[in-house]
Structure 1
């Protein structure tokens, strides 16, 4: 007979309750992936599960909060990575936040401290 202490039983009960409330993984492994409505529903369900206000958020990249990055939540699930014949099926086991857009020169320099690029933009359009 197995014996559990009260704290272990409470932890086990909480783990089971959390697992029951966990949204299912998103399956985009079919030939056409998943439609936008299905993906949006999964993003919203996972955001709520994580205690987030939504499936998109803006995070500061510097202490002053002047330099930011827009993030979008990617739910766990199966996805095709790559294009054409070079696609690979990948599985995310946990939700991740990724940048909604490519990293700008300004963002790169703000995080890394320097910018090795030969192409530099200055002024109000530098963030584009």
Structure 2
């Protein structure tokens, strides 16, 4: 069972963004602050393994992509390009919106949490988006 995505919080301004939510019974083991099975458009997370990057997109099942230990970029069709730094990863999607993930754990397996959404001009909705995300928890 699943629900269609609903837009709860449209953010307007230089960086337009919509906070959406949806339910899927196939995601019943994943909890992102709205209850198990529920997800929202800021529920991205990444896990960097020794030779792969596991992408947990906001909606859908996690997908592992091959990644060499010293590889600095990874392009994923339909998602965008990941630029990999020592303690962060930035995803540039196909619409030129950038998503910054910061490490929340150490080697050998590192977890990354979404911390900022911005455009190439560095217009950020970080404060408003993440304040609203905290309100959802």
TM-score range, shorter chain: under 0.3
Higher strand share: 2
Higher helix share: 1
TM-score by length of 1: 0.25
**In terms of Rg, which structure is larger?**
1
